[in-house]
Structure 1
Amino acid sequence: MCAGAGEGVCGHGGECVRLRMRVCAGSVPVPGLSTVTWKKEADINVRMTQDKETCWISSSALISPGLFLLADCNNNCVKLIDVSTRIVTARLQLPGYPWDVCVLHDDQAAVTLPNNSMIQLLSIKGGQLSRGKKIVSPECRGITSYNNRLYVLYKSNPRIEVMTLDGHIISTFQKDDGKQLFQRPYYLTVSASTPPTLYVSDYSANTVLQLSLDGKVLREYRDKQLIRPESVVEVGPGQIIVCGRDIHNVLLLSERDGKMTEILGQKDGLTKPYSVTFCPHTRAIVVGMRDNNSLNVFNAK
């Protein structure tokens, strides 16, 4: 299995991202994305006959080259899509709406179900989807993994819990030097920096916060082009992309200089983007939007 940051066209998810980048990208160099010109490809329709509502792809994660796991928030399901054939190859109904997904080892993935107060582990072996064990996790939102640990975000009583794959809570990040870390955090990812760090998008604060893996604040990213940030994803060492929902854009964050650059926007057809994925192999970005049956696909020229 190649666990990546989006492949074929690639994307969100966490160590998820670090694992994906390490295994999938291997030695594939990631260009400086701030200077790349993006070409919009044909959208991919992800709606299936079983879907009763317009799709809302709130999260995506790379499974293997060309194969993505999608969380369809409006239709209470997860899907596998083969980007190379543009076909949804599997669908699994869930007991509630999924919010965020990440890829684990051994052909497993995890999805948060906020209204069901649980994290559902999934088997993704052989291109099939099935449910595994559940972890009780009231009002969980964002999820990522690193070093066999889950990092889980909570909107209510905002915090990060670090837990084992069995759900045992190891530590909790809520304050730094007595100050509340978050207002309304929704997504997070682990970077491939040395040492690795966490990035958390805060919907209400209009910020992306960089933390050490023990919960210490390293940097706060804020920009007039970043309003209501959603999915935040590593695309390579020192480069992070984040969806700005209310200005309909995707921004690139640079660890080196702390700058934020818009790389995709409303002019490119984005409307309320929630999930984003980058593939280093194909140099492609895939964006999922709220109440939209299509994935937007962009290739680097």
Structure 2
Amino acid sequence: MAQRNEKITGNGSASLIQDSDEIEEMYCEECDRHTGEYATAVAFCVDCVEYKCKTCKVYHRRHFKAHKIQDSDSMPQDFYLEKCSDHSEQLIKFYCSECSKEACSECKDNEHVQCGDVNHLPALASGIQKSDELKNLQQMLDKLSADIKDTEKLLDAKSEVVDKQEEKAIEACKVHTNKLIEAYTQQHQDLIDDFDEKMEETIARLKKERLELVQVLSKKERMFKNKITNAETDVKDQIVSTNTEFKELRSEHLTLVENLKALTIDLEQAQKLGKNCELFIKLKFTKQLCEKLHRNIEQIQQAYIQRYKLKTSGIQPTLESGTRFFMFEKVSAVKRRVVFNFDINSHIDLISSLLVLSEHTLLILDWKKCSLVIYILEMSQANCIDDIKFETSPFDITKVSDYIVAVTFPNERMIKLITFSGNMKVLYITKIPGNGTCTGIAYRNPYIVVSYWDPASVKILSMSGTIVKTFDKDDNGQNLVIKPWGLIVSPDNTMIYVSDLDKQTVTCLTHDGKVKAVYKDDHLNLPYQLAVDEYGSVYVCGAVSDNIHILSSDLTKVKILIDTNDGLDKPESVAYCPITKRLFVVMQNKIKVFKVLEE
């Protein structure tokens, strides 16, 4: 390739300069290809998409009179001088928007011949510095940076819980170990003292027996100490290994910080150089990496903390003790209590569902007015910033990513993916076939889980609407659900929970459709919407029983968390924010917000 790298000095002579100060001048591609010689390009053939020198321009006009030739004043000036990796003699001149890939002339004529959106790269790159795509990417980078900082706060809070729990359990091990050894040693001493009482009668004989007995007991004591020490070590290992996966998130978070920093520096450097074609390619590449970083952030933010407790045997050891000294048990539910935080006066006639999109953003579905209402949360208040209208009533909503949500529309038998900008303006709406009267919805990467009324069932769909699995019967061949309403997925993506208004139940399914548990309680009437927290605890909204039940991940009742004593009156929906530890409960024209605390 011929490329001029010159800089004019004060006396008019040319000198070599660094790459960052290069003066790029396009050369004649025909001369380069056929003779390998450098010649300055003075024209551009629009039909051939090639730069020509003065001589080649004359011959080209003579042999291709119908071709359109642009002179040096009107020809494209934004050059991208990278060669194709597959065709080393060809410049990269095109970009295929369908394949999201750059291409040379040979690639365009061969690999992209069936593509309908292959364009000249300088034309695409024109105006990229002021494009919305570049601005949105920069906003995405700013949001990722903020998310990483929020994630660090969340990790700090969770780490404190993990460390305290671990410290407490290990200390309990040590205390119990000392008690067992002390009791066991005392038994030995009692036997020795008893033996001493009989020594006077047969002192000569018993001295020998005593010595032998002491030796035997000492050996057994050493064996017992080894046994209890090994048991203590085993349970400590269980405690530490239970927290290992969560502790590894710290290093993952540091990696995210470094990756985001590198992406930001690369993009800023491409902007400073002013090379639009290079910036265009860098922008496309950075967007793909940003999406991957975002998925990693979501995994860290949704990290599941395994709760556990340590039980001791509670019995005195014996000489031939074979009991288990420690019992390590995983806890499926954490006890909770709530304190009232504040009220949101929504002035919405009928809220069908709500979603905490982030710690500062609350989305509410208005069934009666066919709209999605956006609230911004600030301290102890909420302000409405937008009201998005639809043609039919929306039923349920789930978070796909920080700026994408999925909403069911039963009357249209449709699911809609709504993509927002950084300031929560709708960028575009994508329709997905609902495959029936779709009601409840929950996102489980990379699928969505949907409940249906007619016929009643639960289905797993791809993001394009293709049915992956259908669950409509239980293990006994009976209807799995009759009138499903609320639908959520566990934080570790292993379980599906669905409420049923007809059966008055909440059912827990595996992602193969196996029924793991069913919750039914006399104090739960019309279980509407559901929510789940970071520990896997399930919150059930009883619309007629005027209460919120909290259940373990296996649907064991923990307690009635909120009822009429807390001001509940016909609650219809519930949502939880893991960052702020807030529970949002919908009533008529009002949303009550509670702070969730551990007991």
**Matches of 1:43 and 1:200, distance apart in 2:** 28
Decide which of 582, 592, 598 is 1:284's aligned counterpart: 582
Structure 2's unaligned 5+ residue stretches are 1-142, 148-295, 308-332
Partner of 2:432 in structure 1? 135
Partner of 1:14 in structure 2? none
**Matches of 1:131 and 1:293, distance apart in 2:** 29
Partner of 1:58 in structure 2? 352
Decide which of 77, 98, 103 is 2:394's aligned counterpart: 98
**1:146-199 Cα shifts (integer Å, max 9, x gaps):** 021011100121101111111111111111332210111111111124x71000
1:190 aligns with 2:481: no
Give the counterpart letter for 1:248 in structure 2: D
Residues 28, 280 of structure 1: 8 Å contact kept: no
Secondary structure of 2:518 counterpart:
strand
Partner of 2:421 in structure 1? 125
Partner of 2:592 in structure 1? 296
Shift, 1:254, TM fit: 1.1
Shift, 1:20, TM fit: 9.9
Partner of 2:504 in structure 1? 206
1:79 aligns with 2:79: no
Residues 34, 263 of structure 1: 8 Å contact kept: no
Decide which of 255, 261, 274 is 2:559's aligned counterpart: 261
TM-score (norm 1): 0.83
Residues 234, 241 of structure 1: 8 Å contact kept: yes
Secondary structure of 1:135 counterpart:
strand
Shift, 1:24, TM fit: 4.0
TM-score (norm 2): 0.43
For 1:201-240, list aligned pairs within 5 A: 201-240=499-538
Decide which of 344, 348, 354 is 1:44's aligned counterpart: 344
Partner of 2:315 in structure 1? none
Residues 238, 256 of structure 1: 8 Å contact kept: no
Decide which of 383, 391, 406 is 1:110's aligned counterpart: 406
**Matches of 2:472 and 2:524, distance apart in 1:** 23
Secondary structure of 1:115 counterpart:
helix
Shift, 1:125, TM fit: 2.3
Partner of 2:546 in structure 1? 248
**1:228-268 Cα shifts (integer Å, max 9, x gaps):** 10111111233110101111111101136712411111222
Residues 101, 143 of structure 1: 8 Å contact kept: yes
Partner of 1:34 in structure 2? 335
Distance 1:27 1:232, change over 3 A: closer
**Matches of 2:570 and 2:391, distance apart in 1:** 25
Give the counterpart letter for 1:90 in structure 2: D
Partner of 1:151 in structure 2? 449
Shift, 1:102, TM fit: 0.5
Residues 229, 244 of structure 1: 8 Å contact kept: yes
Bigger Cα displacement from structure 2, 270-279 vs 218-227: 270-279
Residues 20, 62 of structure 1: 8 Å contact kept: no
Shift, 1:281, TM fit: 2.5
Shift, 1:275, TM fit: 1.4
Residues 108, 125 of structure 1: 8 Å contact kept: no
Distance 1:238 1:105, change over 3 A: closer
Secondary structure of 2:429 counterpart:
strand
Distance 1:150 1:142, change over 3 A: same
Secondary structure of 2:342 counterpart:
coil
**Matches of 1:233 and 1:255, distance apart in 2:** 12
Distance 1:213 1:109, change over 3 A: same
Give the counterpart letter for 1:39 in structure 2: V
Shift, 1:73, TM fit: 1.3
**Matches of 1:295 and 1:33, distance apart in 2:** 25
**1:73-125 Cα shifts (integer Å, max 9, x gaps):** 12110111112151012220011111100011362111111112211111122
**1:36-66 Cα shifts (integer Å, max 9, x gaps):** 2x2223311223xxxxxx4322211222222
Residues 530, 575 of structure 2: 8 Å contact kept: no
Partner of 2:198 in structure 1? none
Structure index of larger Rg: 2
**Matches of 2:489 and 2:554, distance apart in 1:** 16
Give the counterpart letter for 1:96 in structure 2: T
1:169 aligns with 2:467: yes
Distance 1:181 1:27, change over 3 A: closer
Query: Structure 1 or 2: larger helix share?
Result: 2
